[in-house]
Structure 1
Amino acid sequence: MLDHLPTLPLFIVYLDTNATISGKDELGMYRTLRLRDRVHHIVLHLPSSILHKSLTLMEEPFSMLEHLSLLSTTNEDTNLVLPKTFLAPNLHHLTLLGINLPKRLRLLTSAVSLVMLVLTNIRASGYFLPRLLVARLQSLPQLEELSIGFSIPIPCPSLERDLLSKWGALMMLPNLKHLAFQGIGAYMECLVAQIRAPLLEQLDIILFDQIAFALPHLSHFTNITEGLKLPTMEHDLGHSALHVMCTQFDWQIDCAAQICSILMPTLFNVEELKLKFYEQMMPTEWQDGEVDHTMWHELLRTFTGVKELHLCAALLQELSRVLQVDDVGSDPGILPSLQEIVCEVKKSNFVTPPQGC
């Protein structure tokens, strides 16, 4: 059919969630990839074996390509890598999930028109140091969205020493509006210590489990970035923008309290706080006050300006106990500016704050 149609722009989109791609579809996809001067848009979410064959057809430049999204539906580390000879000078959006960039991230030096760069599910074979990433970002002045996500904490212990000791020069990202990161705190610290993003509006952080957090560079970064001082903050317990990857509920609260304490200067302007839990009911082991109230107090004390507190139904009983006065009438002294509590069930129901708030 392509042989008899006009030379119109081509969009290649194949989302294979069930690994049932037919031989005919596979041949058609390979045939279209060979028409690289006409391809503007590629979205392939496929098993690694199919993606591997597709990547071998991307060894030459795609002069018109603007959008590339590749996702491996295979969980294991298959070491899929974009060909080092792949070039796309007009690329605006690049999303790789479980696919590695060529060594030393050289593709980024030629993709100078990138507006969105998403590199997630980075496995051990694709790990790169933050100073190398920062060096490559210097070639991307139009970048508005950057997302870096690792699937493992760190490949080997010696790499953490490199993170803390070898930094590059400070670099400006003049148009960056959204920064997302998943990994260890040391990597995040090294990254934000080397960049400035004056227009940043959204910061999403997922940190792997650790006992204690020391994030002075993140604290400084958030303090000097005016766009991050927003009146609303969401903390989704168990699945969130501010999320520590551990299964213990009390650990989640403790780690969140540590991070919020570090970011306290930025949180002074928060007037609306949303606490969410993505289960309909609190697990039995977390009910009846099993979580030490001190942990909740340490978390909530960082939000001195909050006027409106949103709670999901699963957290309502737990937080009601935390906010009320104790048996001897002692006020916990948290959320001093609180005026309203909103319980979010199927419909938003407004609830009178417990006594002593």
Structure 2
Amino acid sequence: MSHPVPSTSSLQPTEQIGQRALTGESEQQKYASFFCEEDEEFGERLIGGLGGWVRGRWWYTLAHVCQRWRNVILGSASYLGVSLVCTEGTPVADMLAHSPPLPLVIDYRNVDHGITADDEEGAILALRQRDRVRRVRFEMPATNLQELIVAIDEEYPILEYLVIVRLTEGDSMILTFPETLQVPHLRHLMLFGFTLPIGSRLLTTAVGLVTLCLVMDHPSTYFHPNTLLRWLSSMPQLETLAIIFLFPVPNRDIERQFSQTPIITPFPLHNLHHFCFQGVSTYLEALVHRITTPRLEMLAIYFFHQLTFSVPRLLQFLNTTENLRFESAKFEFLRKDVYVKVYPRGEAEMYALALIVHCWHLDWQVSSAAQISDALSRIFSEVEHLTLEHKEHSLSSEEHNEVDRSEWRKLLGSFWNAKTLRIDDGLVGELSRCLQLEDGELPLELLPELEELTCSGSGDTGDGFTSFIDARQNAGRPVTLVRSSNQRPSEAPVEASTVTSSEAGDDVDT
């Protein structure tokens, strides 16, 4: 007897899935999206993969070709990963009544408006088929999610993906996840904007998680670092971890909470490769003090604006990793942020370590970067190639854009093994002032291994470094000064005798 399969007449093409789960209007949400934009594979894991789960309906058309093809597909359903897809516009009741009992993929995503009453009823009906649900992904306003979340309770024995994103625009409703939900075979979990009850069985039963992303958008969704550590200690297979706060928690509050609770015994996460954190430094310090990740390949951190940084445990944590290598580093001073990206190789496209601090005015940005680089000087001393980039700051803040010389020297002092330094045009004046020797300073006190200094921009960008170049020449450790126009060879031809790099726009002083 043949099994009827869903009709293809009502199937709608899926929209391209963006990374809306971590984007929005607020500064905090904007920078959460940075982690995914830099590493698309990382972003795909967090939101369950790009391209839409409706691609799981690939077999619908083939099953309608002929009886033989239908029998082959349904007879090999488990091997082929065949499933029924419930999404917007799907007549779920009819599909369940007239289709074989295949696994269910439930995927409702709508950015601009909530789902219809019929779609909501269909989604709830599908969720009640607990033994068949393989994947669940909802991305919609809280008003719709409230009804759907209530239906996700008890045990889902084959559920592998659970991605639920509460769209937050103009919505202050607090959503709490069911306490009774059990997911023993869950592999990928992303929750955006939910309160997890103290007795929730969701994470205590999801011991096989490979991907975990928790995004907290309201103080009601906050959980204590020890609570998170207890969850993580039962997830030995975890490969990707993202902990993202969209609101700041005062450092002093976390310090007080952590000091008043029993200490969690440190434990390893042997399989963790990607770790993303957004929040305040004290919360991160509480986490990394109790975990080791020897196979970590990428660490991305976004700190909310704060005046001081103390991250000694982060340094200890980084020292326990075996795969992280730091050969080149780039500091990007933007209008409201400073980005620090450290790469395993000079030509690498993907960073091994990214640190972002949300702050404005160049003096504040350099102070923040200097504190962090000073705290991590032990690992930054591996860096051989250093780049400092600058984008124009607001003209109204010019009085804040002249940086104390000691702050620049503190930043550069962490890179004592740097052999090349590239300075963007907007920072040439600042750095030339920083590198000029004052009374009592030794010529090799700063950047002692430097061999090449590149100044990008137009005009006499390198003239301010004359005294520095002369001092290093007299000390027997000459530095080559390269002026780079950042122009293409066809736009700015240079005599062959002055070219020392692959860029025809670079000329050299010796």
Report the TM-score when normalising by structure 2.
0.61
1:53 has 2:159 as partner:
no
Once the two structures are overlaid, the 10-residue window that deviates more, 345-354 or 94-103, is 345-354
The residue that corresponds to 2:157 in the other structure is 63
- Aligned residue for 1:83, secondary structure, equals coil
Structure 1 residues 48 and 236, CA gap change in structure 2 (3 angstroms): farther
Which of the residues 394, 402, 414 maps onto 1:283? 394
Paired residues of 2:402 and 2:430 also in contact (CA < 8 A) = no
- Aligned residue for 1:141, secondary structure, equals coil
Map of 1:333-348 to 2, 5 A cutoff?
Answer: 333-334=446-447, 336-337=449-450, 339=452, 341=454
- Structure possessing the higher radius of gyration over alpha carbons: 2
CA distance in 2, matches of 1:169, 1:209: 30
1:150 has 2:245 as partner:
yes
After superposition, the C-alpha distances for 1:3-58 in whole angstroms (9 at most, x for unaligned) are 21222222222221112533333333222222222221112110011111110110
Structure 1 residues 220 and 81, CA gap change in structure 2 (3 angstroms): same
Deviation at residue 155 of structure 1 after TM alignment: 7.0
The residue that corresponds to 1:168 in the other structure is 264
Code of the residue aligned with 2:289 in structure 1: it is A
Identify unmatched segments of 5+ residues in structure 2.
1-93, 340-353, 457-484, 490-501
Deviation at residue 342 of structure 1 after TM alignment: 9.1
Which of the residues 12, 36, 40 maps onto 2:130? 36
1:12 has 2:106 as partner:
yes
Query: Quick one: higher RCO (CA 8 Å, sep 6+), 1 or 2?
Result: 1
Structure 1 residues 9 and 209, CA gap change in structure 2 (3 angstroms): same
1:128 has 2:223 as partner:
yes
Matched residues, percent identical? 33
Identify unmatched segments of 5+ residues in structure 1.
none
- Aligned residue for 1:103, secondary structure, equals coil
Structure 1 residues 293 and 159, CA gap change in structure 2 (3 angstroms): closer
1:208 has 2:319 as partner:
no
Structure 1 residues 346 and 65, CA gap change in structure 2 (3 angstroms): farther
Deviation at residue 276 of structure 1 after TM alignment: 5.7
Paired residues of 2:142 and 2:175 also in contact (CA < 8 A) = yes
Deviation at residue 258 of structure 1 after TM alignment: 0.3
Report the TM-score when normalising by structure 1.
0.84
Paired residues of 2:241 and 2:272 also in contact (CA < 8 A) = yes
Structure 1 residues 35 and 256, CA gap change in structure 2 (3 angstroms): same
Structure 1 residues 272 and 19, CA gap change in structure 2 (3 angstroms): farther
The residue that corresponds to 2:279 in the other structure is 183
The residue that corresponds to 1:265 in the other structure is 378
Map of 1:72-91 to 2, 5 A cutoff?
Answer: 72-75=166-169, 76-91=171-186
- Aligned residue for 2:275, secondary structure, equals strand
CA distance in 1, matches of 2:488, 2:130: 51
Structure 1 residues 46 and 236, CA gap change in structure 2 (3 angstroms): farther
Structure 1 residues 82 and 308, CA gap change in structure 2 (3 angstroms): farther
- Aligned residue for 2:323, secondary structure, equals helix
Paired residues of 1:236 and 1:243 also in contact (CA < 8 A) = no
Code of the residue aligned with 2:416 in structure 1: it is T
Map of 1:182-331 to 2, 5 A cutoff?
Answer: 182-237=278-333, 238=337, 240=339, 241-273=354-386, 281-285=392-396, 290-292=401-403, 294=405, 295-307=407-419, 316-324=424-432
CA distance in 2, matches of 1:218, 1:7: 50
